[in-house]
Amino acid sequence: MEKVEIKIDLPGDPWQMIGAYSLYRMFKNISHRSALVSDLQLNPSQILISFSVDDSEKIKSYLYQEFKDDMNSVPLRPIELKLLGIDIGEDTEGFVPSKLSPVRKLTSEEKQKLKELGIANPSSSVDMTQKRSYIGLRKNWDDLKKSYKQDIDAFLDHWSTDEKKKKICPVCGRSCNGSDMYQMNQSKNVFYNQHHNVKPRGYFKNVSKEKMCSVCNFLNVLASLLVDGHPYFVGDSQKTHLFIPQVNDFESLQIIYDKLATELYNMREANLKSYRTNIRNLNNRTLYVSLLSLYFWLQYEFQNQTNSVNQENQQDPLLAFNPFPEPKKATIPYWTVPRYQKQQNVVFYHFSRINTDHKIFDLVKPLEFGLNQETGNIVQTFFNKLWASDQRLIDDIARGIVDRNLGVIRERLFTLYKAFQKDSRKNKITSTGVSFFRSYIKFLSGEVMELISQELNEDLKKLGNVIGRNCAENMSILTKLNNAATQDGFRQALKETQFSIYKDKVSELKRNNNQDENKSINIGVDRMERILNALNSDNFNEIKDTLLIYTSLGAFNKLNGYEKE
């Protein structure tokens, strides 16, 4: 029996690789519904699909439906109609409309209902929108609605015919005919952007727009339609930030997208009131907090496997820790994050590259913290308990964690504390967040970075807590400790700090004969000697950074009126 064999090797383009995974996903769905697919394999370097030539037309019909399903995942009802429970039907071809004609005008009763549901200023009229993770415009979607069958036919014809082809695809090197080549438009692939001051500008690093073969075209289009799997957030600048994993093998990519498809928000969820991100429980929409959140969801899952909306800050009791497969942790060397904004055209801005390694998975593991040994994690128990008027402070703390840079964490946490003193409503960490981060810093500097012994870490934690509680409002002392640039300068700042604490507190303690309170200013001779003896030119930065982080956390708790730890 003659067969059609489709072989997709690992491409160098991460976007096209996502499209290849989406193709495999489609054929997997087809194999569940019929026995037409005779072979379906996904291994680290290749995807293999085969079916009988005699079944080609049936395969086409299934692919048409799978493709249509993906297309229908792009248009979204306006938030207002969704909350009101007003459905939008499909047209005669089975497509969700990309635009309402005419636009839907809201009645005064509907506006009042929306206000009761939490929409402060409902619009007078509403129209369909698109998922922010779709990189094209409404026009691109409408054009695809007209051409998708031809795109599928051309893709399958490439594997079904043995005729000699005269051209070579500049992207993949496959042979093709000139009549079967397609424009490399940025609506199909984020790396095909043509905007000034954005690198790379164009796939070939120039302004020329080349053409690609039917295989590359179809894979790129599939990637653009995998909107439910693309993590994103819309920042304060109204730019969409899209997270694209650079993965070394198909198996890892499958694990990532299978997980994200389950754990990301379903934008059609009835109670979801915002389309600004599909990353679950993302209170602080910044680059590095979002990255940590993604790794969190690659490690956790809901035990009941629902995609229900939970916008509370507390850790969800239905969460279960489900580690990413150990051998695959090292297969994600970095993430690319393009930024874009939809106007008359899709305007791309600068792309970020975030280097990662296998240790980033450890950064989101569950940890015990506090007097009651509760279980928490860096995303839900710290970053969801953290507020700042300048979101860059929060993002820099997250960047320090991702990069394992205690100096960045120390500096930005201290800056946040100074902002907290000026405006404690807009800049704060809850007592739960402080308690968890104490345990987290011990874990980060000790177990992950292997910089400081457990005993020394505990000594620094005690000393930092004493300094933070007793010098919470003495910014001169805290600033001098923070700015100490040398080992000798740091020792001198420590001496001055201890003297200041004793000068302010000892006479008061003697008058009250309060021995318990005396413990709050004295960590003990042994602990202090261990710290000073351990301090040298090699570990000065690590000890200073760790101590000042604990100090800032102690100061936060002091001014929060919480001193149990």
Whether 236 shows a pLDDT value over 70: the answer reads yes
pLDDT of residue 68: 97
Distance CA 159, CA 99 (A): 36
H or E, element range at 534: helix 525-534
Q: Would you state the structure tokens that stand for residue 97, as one six-digit string?
A: 């409309």
Task: Give me the mean pLDDT over the 96-108 stretch.
Answer: 94
Distance, C-alpha 368 to centroid of its chain? 24
Helix boundaries (H) for 168-309: 214-225, 250-263, 287-299
Name, in order, each residue with C-beta under 8 angstroms of 114's C-beta and a sequence gap of 6 or more. 80, 83, 84, 106, 122
pLDDT of residue 310: 43
With left for phi above 0 and alpha for psi between -120 and 50, is residue 494 left, alpha or beta?
alpha
**Residue 398 contacts residue 383 (beta carbons within 8 Å):** yes
Whether 52 shows a pLDDT value over 90: the answer reads yes
Whether 515 shows a pLDDT value over 60: the answer reads no
Distance CA 385, CA 369 (A): 15
Task: Give me the mean pLDDT over the 483-494 stretch.
Answer: 93
* Integer angstrom CA distances of residue 451 from 439, 441, 447, 466: 15, 11, 8, 22
SS3 category, 516: helix
Q: How confident is the model at residue 476 (pLDDT cuts 50, 70, 90)?
A: very high
Beta bridge partners of 481: none
Closest CA to 98 of 131, 143, 130: 130
Q: State the chain's mean pLDDT as an integer.
A: 90
Distance CA 358, CA 332 (A): 8
Q: How confident is the model at residue 315 (pLDDT cuts 50, 70, 90)?
A: very low
pLDDT of residue 99: 95
Distance CA 98, CA 96 (A): 6
**Residue 563 contacts residue 466 (beta carbons within 8 Å):** no
pLDDT of residue 564: 55
Task: Give me the mean pLDDT over the 93-107 stretch.
Answer: 94
Whether 489 shows a pLDDT value over 50: the answer reads yes
Q: How confident is the model at residue 319 (pLDDT cuts 50, 70, 90)?
A: confident
DSSP state of 448: I
Distance CA 386, CA 107 (A): 39
Q: Would you state the structure tokens that stand for residue 229, as one six-digit string?
A: 């799997």
Lowest mean pLDDT among 202-216, 426-440, 527-541: 202-216
Own/partner pairs, 426-429, CB within 8 angstroms, 24+ separation: 426/387, 426/388, 426/389, 427/387, 427/388, 427/389, 427/393, 428/386, 428/387, 428/556, 428/560, 429/382, 429/385, 429/386, 429/387, 429/553, 429/556
* Integer angstrom CA distances of residue 20 from 215, 253, 309, 435: 10, 10, 30, 45
The 3 state secondary structure assigned to 393-419 is: HHHHHHHHHHCCCHHHHHHHHHHHHHH
Whether 377 shows a pLDDT value over 50: the answer reads yes
Name, in order, each residue with C-beta under 8 angstroms of 161's C-beta and a sequence gap of 6 or more. none
pLDDT of residue 313: 37
**Phi then psi for 546, rounded to 5 degrees?**
-65, -45
**Residue 404 contacts residue 452 (beta carbons within 8 Å):** no
Specify the residue for token string 């982080």: 549
Task: Give me the mean pLDDT over the 488-504 stretch.
Answer: 87
CB contact burial 91-124 (16+ within 10 A = b; e otherwise): eeeeebebeeeeebebeeebbebbeeeebeebbe
Residue-wise pLDDT tens digits, 266-291 = 999 888 999 999 999 999 999 999 99
Task: Give me the mean pLDDT over the 283-305 stretch.
Answer: 88
pLDDT of residue 523: 76
- Which of 180-189, 202-211, 295-304 reaches the highest mean pLDDT? 180-189
Cα 533–Cα 534–Cα 538 angle in degrees, nearest 5: 125
Distance CA 543, CA 546 (A): 5
- Output the CA torsion sign for 276, 96, 294, 375: positive
Cα 87–Cα 88–Cα 94 angle in degrees, nearest 5: 130
Distance CA 558, CA 553 (A): 9
Whether 484 shows a pLDDT value over 60: the answer reads yes
pLDDT of residue 161: 78
**Residue 222 contacts residue 22 (beta carbons within 8 Å):** yes
Task: Give me the mean pLDDT over the 413-424 stretch.
Answer: 95
What is the percent of the chain with per-residue pLDDT over 70, rounded to a whole number? 90
What is the percent of the chain with per-residue pLDDT over 90, rounded to a whole number? 75
- Output the CA torsion sign for 244, 245, 246, 252: negative
**Residue 122 contacts residue 106 (beta carbons within 8 Å):** yes
Specify the residue for token string 């402070």: 393
Whether 308 shows a pLDDT value over 80: the answer reads no
- Which of 269-278, 287-296, 314-323 reaches the highest mean pLDDT? 287-296
pLDDT of residue 514: 56
Whether 520 shows a pLDDT value over 70: the answer reads no
Taking every pair of Cα atoms in the chain, the longest distance, rounded to a whole number of angstroms, is: 100
In the chain, what are the domain boundaries?
Answer: 1-69+142-179+209-226, 228-303+319-365, 367-560
Closest CA to 451 of 401, 403, 404, 490: 404
CB contact burial 337-358 (16+ within 10 A = b; e otherwise): bbbbebeeebebbebbebebee
The 3 state secondary structure assigned to 298-363 is: HHEEECCCCCCCCCCCCCCCCEEECCCCHHHHHHCCEEEECEEEECCCEEECCCEEEECCHHHHHH
Whether 304 shows a pLDDT value over 60: the answer reads no
